[in-house]
Amino acid sequence: MKLAVTATPSEARFAAILLRGAIAETFALASQYGYDGIEVHLRDPHDVDWEEIVELSQRYSLPVTTLGTGMAAGMDGLTFTDANSEVRMRAVGRMKEHIKLAARLGSAVTIGVLNGNLGNDVDQAAQARKHHFACLQECCHAAADVGVPLLLEPLNRYECDWLNTTEDALAVIEQLGAANLKYLADTYHMTIEEVDIAASIHRAGDSLGYVHLVDSNRCGPGQGHLAFREVLNALIDVNYDGFLSFECLPRPDVDSILKNSLCYVKELLAEFATRGI
């Protein structure tokens, strides 16, 4: 398994993005600390120079793992469940631009906050689910056309009112039946929603496409009470060989997460390797 770190050149309000600032600086830092990949969060793909990212990715041998899209929801109010068809159309349009950039970079695209909420009214909620399905289906087709995987990320109940668990995500993935739609497991959301994180990883199996590796308090791995040995063991059991991406709060500070949590996870992985696991 390889390790990635979250970065953004945008004015992100989402606090769990570790590297912020000019895109060239974030690549330099990710490389300097020894990460294997970089997860780039963008409000709008046209906020950045696509060829600059391609060049940086090659120069530092750092693949862009996935494009985070949550800012389109957080800052521009775009979601797949919005009752207003024009807003949904803009959400899908924004996703399609992310998909084009992902195709250029060879990365995936994440759909998390963009999934939206259903609300309390039963009829409206049923309608919102249909809207979500139609939007997601359109994005899956557009992504499949250019060979881009999409990563569906359930969020904890305080951030989303319906798509919270591994089971919720797998139900949507199964219903949609698109080979390029995978499950993104975020271990912070999982500590709040799952009964047994290792069992959920086993349940996801081949549907697992990506991991946000973060502790119970949303700090870096090793800074909270999540049993990382069990999590990593389960990932090894299901033959997950993708990226573990550090999407954590910069507490106590970015530097200590980049160094200490990275060392902590590398040591755990080395321990598994020496035991032949």
Binding site partner of 68, from ligand LER, Mn ion, none, Cβ cut-off 5-8 A by kind? ligand LER
Site for Mn ion, rule CB under 5 A: 186, 212, 247
Rounded-to-10 torsion of CA 236, 238, 243, 249: -80
CA angle 116, 241, 237 (to 5 degrees): 95
Binding mask 82-121 for ligand LER (x = CB under 6 A): ----------------------------x-xx--------
User: Whose CB is nearest to Mn ion?
Assistant: 186
Q: How many CB atoms lie within 10 A of CB 173?
A: 20
Burial class (CB in 10 A: 0-12, 13-18, 19+), 241: exposed
Q: What, of Mn ion, ligand LER, none, does residue 70 touch, CB below 5 to 8 Å by kind?
A: ligand LER
Which residues from 63-82 bind ligand LER, rule CB under 6 A? Answer: 68, 70
Nearer to ligand LER, 16 or 62 (CB): 16
Tokens encoding 99? 């998909």
In the complex with ligand LER, the residue whose CB is nearer, 63 or 112, is: 112
- 86, 174, 247, 267: which one is catalytic? 247
Per annotation, catalytic residue among 86, 138, 153, 271:
153
How many CA atoms lie within 13 Å of 234's alpha carbon, on the beta-carbon side?
19
Dump the DSSP string for 162-224: S--SHHHHHHHHHHHT-TTEEEEEEHHHHHHH-S-HHHHHHHHGGGEEEEE---TTSSSTTSS
Q: Are strands 2-8 and 108-111 parallel, antiparallel or unpaired?
A: unpaired
Radius of gyration of the chain from Cα atoms?
A: 18
Regarding 149 and contact with ligand LER (CB under 6 A), the answer is: no
Query: Minimum distance between the CB of residue 141 and ligand LER, rounded to whole angstroms?
Result: 22
Q: Is 153 a catalytic residue?
A: yes
Contact status: 36 vs ligand LER (CB under 6 A)? no
Candidates 8, 152, 153, 226; binder of ligand LER (CB under 6 A) is 153
State how far the Cα of 4 lies from the Cα of 35, in Å rounded to an integer. Answer: 5
Q: Does 186 bind ligand LER (CB under 6 A)?
A: yes
Binding site residues, ligand LER, CB under 6 A: 68, 70, 110, 112-113, 153, 155, 159, 186, 212, 247
- Residues designated as active site: 153, 247
